[in-house]
Amino acid sequence: MAFGWIDEQAELRRRAGLVRTLRPRSAESPLLDLASNDYLGLARHPEVTEGAERAARTWGGGATGSRLVTGTTELHAELEQALADYCGFEAALVFSSGYAANLAAVTALAPHGSLIVSDAGNHASLIDGCRLARGTTQVVAHSDPEAVGKTLYTHTGEAIVVSDTVFSVDGDAAPLAEYAEVCRERGAGLVVDDAHGLGVLGDGGRGAPHAAGLAGADDVVVTVTLSKSLGSQGGAVLGPARVIQHLVNTARTFIFDTGLAPASAGAALAALRLLRREPERAARARAVARELHTRLTAAGLEAVRPDAAVVSVRAPSPEEAVQWAAECRAAGLAVGCFRPPSVPDSISRLRLTARADLSEAEIERAVRVIGETRP
Ligand code: PMP
């Protein structure tokens, strides 16, 4: 029977307790949200939704074509300029998702014969970029600049080092300054995914590369998503203008994809304006994360010390993680549940989002519920 093997796989998944299902949320959900990536609480901010509405009214429901045909509006150009200016890079290029931006950056910058050094904790989209690239990938130990340096020394041609800035599972930050140093010693490029850093780290949320003094460097390329702190949808690559021009001419997820929807561009632009005007939101997200961690630890839970706005709490097993998250939900709290195969080390955890707009009472309630429902 065609596709018979997928039933066997489904059965294995069921037995391992690893079945995933979709649960549509309602617009009026009563749950306290510590599960989304809306770090700054901007997805429903009136200025952000108004930005989306205005853009849709002016430019339409879709971009109407790929970026090199009809899909580049003045709004896309304005967003690219605003992103580059805010994060301190020469130029930016917007994609329909952060996933597409990562595929573009890695594939376009790792030609045949090149070496890609990839951190073992990298996000799936960077991993897929490595798989699609013509260069050869070497995976190195997580957050280990020495291992990166050693691997770079095994190769004499073109090379890039690829890493998340903040790892999405545990919320730990990569040693960016050290990575930049070993890259410079070998003339390698550094490509970092700042999906969880933009809006949270650096002055006013200008991102982890900005915080590490790497903004505007001619050997550093940064990818971001518009779908987390900026409360919109889409992605971007930031870097030297010559790199961005190279992507315009060669990146397949740019050339063959319809441009970002105008509503998403309008929402992201409005969010960037808010970040400029209210830079304290970034520091607040970090403070909420630290407070969550302190309280969870005091309650005897095993939480990873957060470097940004993600707080990860260890669960004993995938089944218990699922059960724990379900009990939190029943008690009115939405938390993320990460388990194999979405975790690099087979350890299941609850993943909490430290949103900047959480009140003290909400933080207290969240920690109480997590503590009371622990396995
Ligand atoms: N990189 C990282 C580290 C992410 O966590 C995500 C989103 N889960 C992405 C890239 C993909 O971004 P997008 O959702 O915009 O495709």
Tell me: the pLDDT tens digits for 117-129?
Answer: 999 999 999 999 9
Whether 12 is covered by a domain: the verdict is no
Out of 254, 277, 300, a domain closes at 277
267, 337: one domain: no
pTM, whole model, 2 decimals?
0.96
| 8 Å CB contact between 8 and 15 | no
98, 126: one domain: yes
228, 367: one domain: no
* pLDDT for position 358: 97
* Alpha-carbon distances, residue 211 vs 29, 165, 185, 253 (angstroms): 36, 11, 21, 29
Measured from the Cα of 123, ligand 1's closest atom is 3
Out of 257, 277, 297, a domain closes at 277
* pLDDT for position 29: 86
Measured by CA distance, the residue closest to atom 15 of ligand 1 is 98
Whether 19 is covered by a domain: the verdict is no
111, 122: one domain: yes
What is this model's ipTM? 0.99
36, 79: one domain: no
SS3 219: coil
319, 353: one domain: yes
Whether 54 is covered by a domain: the verdict is yes
List, in order, residues 6 or more apart from 374 with CB less than 8 Å away. Answer: 301, 324
Whether 15 is covered by a domain: the verdict is no
Total count of domains within the chain: 2
Domain CATH number, residue 330: 3.90.1150.10
Q: Is 353 in the pocket of ligand 1 (CB under 6 A)?
A: no
335, 231: one domain: no
Out of 222, 253, 277, a domain closes at 277
* pLDDT for position 16: 84
Q: In what order do the strands lie in the sheet with 349-353?
A: 32-34, 333-338, 349-353, 310-314
59, 141: one domain: yes
267, 289: one domain: no
How many CB atoms are closer than 10 A to CB 265? Answer: 29
Whether 3 is covered by a domain: the verdict is no
Q: Is 119 in the pocket of ligand 1 (CB under 6 A)?
A: no
- Interhelix angle 280-298/262-277, rounded to 10 degrees, is 80
* pLDDT for position 346: 83
How far is 265 from 273, CA to CA, in rounded Å? 12
* pLDDT for position 20: 87
Q: Is 123 in the pocket of ligand 1 (CB under 6 A)?
A: yes
Whether 60 is covered by a domain: the verdict is yes
187, 287: one domain: no
Show the low-confidence residues of the chain (pLDDT under 70). none
Give the domain range for residue 224. 46-277
* pLDDT for position 137: 98
98, 65: one domain: yes
* pLDDT for position 297: 97
SS3 237: strand
207, 295: one domain: no
Q: Is 282 in the pocket of ligand 1 (CB under 6 A)?
A: no
Q: Is 125 in the pocket of ligand 1 (CB under 6 A)?
A: yes
Whether 146 is covered by a domain: the verdict is yes
